[in-house]
Structure 1
Amino acid sequence: MSDLKWLIAREIPHLRRYARSLARTPDAADELVQETLEKALRKRAQWRRSGSVRSWLFTILYRTHLNSTRDGKPFTNPRDRMDETLAAADRRVEPTQDASLMWRDISQALDRLPEDQRAAILLVTLEDLSYDEAASVLGIPVGTLRSRVSRARDTLRNTMDPAIDAAAPIRRIK
């Protein structure tokens, strides 16, 4: 196996996780990853050795997702499979009922984000890409990415705060 094929194979779990955050179903996510891998192998000569394979693959995946959305294919996701995606990411911890409810709330809050903010925050937080890499993947300036991530965090914070505040005891300050 060539070095590039090995590097691509190493990124498949990350591609699947991000694809599941974009696609409606696990099958659609797998189809998106498959199409991404086929394009990457066909266009392997376009990869620059000085660049990140992960960023290159995420760019292909995201643009494939955008193109399929425009063509009317069912890749856009209201994230109905987020619980499954997060569980697959870390199977070491047996979720409690509270943790399951928290993941459900996070998933629903992510569902409500505009597509551009959701894509930005997932690349930076879930996939751990740098701002430069995530901006490159999305094809936007770094400042725009920072703005989208900031707005997404504010929206998530405001969405999640009522649940947190409801669980916190009330203290009177004199």
Structure 2
Amino acid sequence: MPQHDGFHDLLTAALPRLRTHARALTRNRAAADDLVHDAVASALAGRHSFTPGTNFHAWMHRILYNRFISDTRKRHATEDLDHVPDAVLGIGGAQEDRLILGELRGAIGRLPAEQRAALLMVALQGMSYDEVAEVTGCAVGAAKSRVFRARRQLQAMLFGKEEASSNVSPRCIVPASSRTSGIRASSTGAAD
């Protein structure tokens, strides 16, 4: 039996966030479970490439994200965001809150994949822009831009505009007083 180096402990601790990230990317519970399984298998096979002392969560999320991109390129098919459980995007509330959440879910599903992934990593996972950049393999500025554009596009879609104009003021997409996820649109692109 190999010496216990803590790799399996790190992997086990990363699983909940990987599952949430996978569900946000795939929008399907079964596909998310398969994606996490494949990412864990890849991580175990390539554990020699992990440098101890570096950010293990970012390394795992990068493996998961790369696997998702590879699988998506192979399939070229998308699935409906309606398969994401409400608990991932927010908990149920009053009827109006559910309608707003449904509109938000549909609008998120229409975002370009790169913008959707960056927004969900920041808004749901609480990842920093540096972590998003590391996971997606882009510059920090590009990660910020993707989140900013995703928020602006969501704002435009939810307020019935074709494109977000430069003079649109920041507005809350989901009321802060509601019991939903609290994803906000901002014209500054800063994390909420």
Superposition TM-score, scaled by structure 1 size: 0.81
Q: Quick one: distance in 1 between partners of 2:133 and 2:126?
A: 13
Structure number having the greater helix percentage: 1
The 3-state SS of whatever aligns with 2:144 is helix
Match of 1:95 in 2: 93
The 3-state SS of whatever aligns with 2:54 is coil
**CA pair 32-118 structure 1, distance change in 2 beyond 3 A:** same
Q: Within 5 A, what are the aligned runs for 1:139-150?
A: 139-150=137-148
Q: Once the 2 structures are TM-superposed, how far is the Cα of residue 21 of structure 1 from its aligned partner?
A: 1.5
Q: Within 5 A, what are the aligned runs for 1:1-174?
A: 2-72=5-75, 76-82=78-84, 84=85, 86-87=86-87, 95-161=93-159
Q: Is the 1:16–1:30 Cα contact (8 Å) retained in structure 2?
A: yes
Superposition TM-score, scaled by structure 2 size: 0.74
The 3-state SS of whatever aligns with 1:59 is helix
User: What amino acid is aligned across from residue 30 of structure 1 in structure 2?
Assistant: D
Q: Is the 1:134–1:145 Cα contact (8 Å) retained in structure 2?
A: yes
Q: Quick one: distance in 2 between partners of 1:73 and 1:109?
A: 20
Q: Is the 2:89–2:124 Cα contact (8 Å) retained in structure 1?
A: no
Q: Quick one: distance in 1 between partners of 2:73 and 2:113?
A: 13
Q: Once the 2 structures are TM-superposed, how far is the Cα of residue 2 of structure 1 from its aligned partner?
A: 4.8
Q: Quick one: distance in 1 between partners of 2:80 and 2:66?
A: 18
* Runs of 4+ residues over 6 Å off in structure 1: none
Q: Quick one: distance in 2 between partners of 1:38 and 1:157?
A: 38
Tell me how many residue pairs correspond in the alignment. 159
Among all aligned residue pairs of Structure 1 and Structure 2, give the percentage whose two residues are the same amino acid. 34
Q: Quick one: distance in 2 between partners of 1:36 and 1:56?
A: 11
**CA pair 56-101 structure 1, distance change in 2 beyond 3 A:** same
Q: Once the 2 structures are TM-superposed, how far is the Cα of residue 113 of structure 1 from its aligned partner?
A: 0.6
